[in-house]
């Protein structure tokens, strides 16, 4: 057996393990993701909102606004509804306007611009001590948030989002 053969065999088995590519050295052994070229049509979507922080409400507003934009932003062909029934209800209380002013202006602007509508569960609001007159006027109070989500899905064909 030639002297170099054992080294060749060792290189063939261990070489791939020890010789990292530039991509692997940069923690990207599979390269980077590709972007699918997809066209989206106007949608009917209901967001089930039950969150605890301003940042979480802002995230839902961002997602809904972006969805509206990429689907054509046509209020006659699409509908995006946020149904609120969690801790976030207090952000929409008139008494908390000064504390959540920026968030309320953004939410009201999206409603006014017909990007989305906001509905609030009356039962959840009452449980937190709020009456309809305690909530900003751009919010519509519905008898029950869960029932509204179900109605929108099964009677009006809305897709469900959390």
Q: What is the pLDDT of residues 146-159, one digit of tens each?
A: 999 999 999 999 99
Is residue 84 a contact partner of residue 144, using CB atoms and an 8 Å limit? no
According to DSSP, the residues that pair with 74 across neighbouring strands are: none
Three-class DSSP category at 98: coil
Q: What is the pTM (predicted TM-score) of this model?
A: 0.79
How far apart, in whole angstroms, are the C-alpha atoms of residue 98 and residue 29? 50
pLDDT exceeds cutoff 90 at 109: yes
Which strands, in side-by-side order, build the sheet including 117-121? 139-142, 117-121, 79-84, 44-49, 159-161
Of the listed ranges 20-34, 61-75, 109-123, 138-152, the one predicted with least confidence: 20-34
Partnered with residue 121 across adjacent β-strands are 142
Least confidently predicted of 17-31, 38-52, 80-94, 97-111: 17-31
Beta partners for 79? 44
Interstrand relation of 159-161 and 139-142 (parallel, antiparallel or unpaired) = unpaired
Contact 100, 53 (CB under 8 A): no
> Contact, 81 vs 152, CB < 8 A?
yes
For the structural domain made of 44-161, what CATH number should be given? 3.40.1260.10
CA 36/CA 33 separation, integer angstroms: 9
The H or E element spanning position 119 is strand 117-121
**Sequence spans of domains, the chain:** 44-161
- The answer to whether 51 and 15 have CB atoms below 8 angstroms apart is no
pLDDT at 145: 98
Query: pLDDT confidence of 66, banded at 50, 70, 90?
Result: very high
């Amino acid at each position: 057996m030639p002297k170099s053969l054992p080294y060749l065999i060792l290189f063939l088995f261990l070489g791939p393990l020890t010789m990292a590519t530039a991509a692997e050295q940069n923690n990207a052994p599979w390269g980077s993701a590709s972007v699918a070229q997809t066209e989206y049509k106007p949608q009917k979507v209901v967001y089930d909102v039950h969150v605890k922080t301003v940042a979480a409400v802002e995230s839902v507003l961002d997602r809904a606004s972006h969805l509206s934009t990429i689907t054509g932003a046509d209020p006659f062909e699409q509908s995006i509804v946020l149904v609120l029934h969690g801790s976030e209800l207090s952000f929409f209380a008139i008494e908390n306007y000064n504390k959540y002013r920026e968030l309320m202006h953004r939410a009201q602007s999206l409603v006014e611009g017909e990007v989305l509508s906001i509905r609030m569960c009356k039962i959840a609001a009452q449980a937190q001590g709020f009456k309809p007159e305690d909530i900003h006027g751009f919010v519509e109070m519905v008898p029950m948030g869960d029932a509204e989500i179900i109605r929108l899905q099964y009677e009006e064909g809305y897709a469900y989002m959390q």
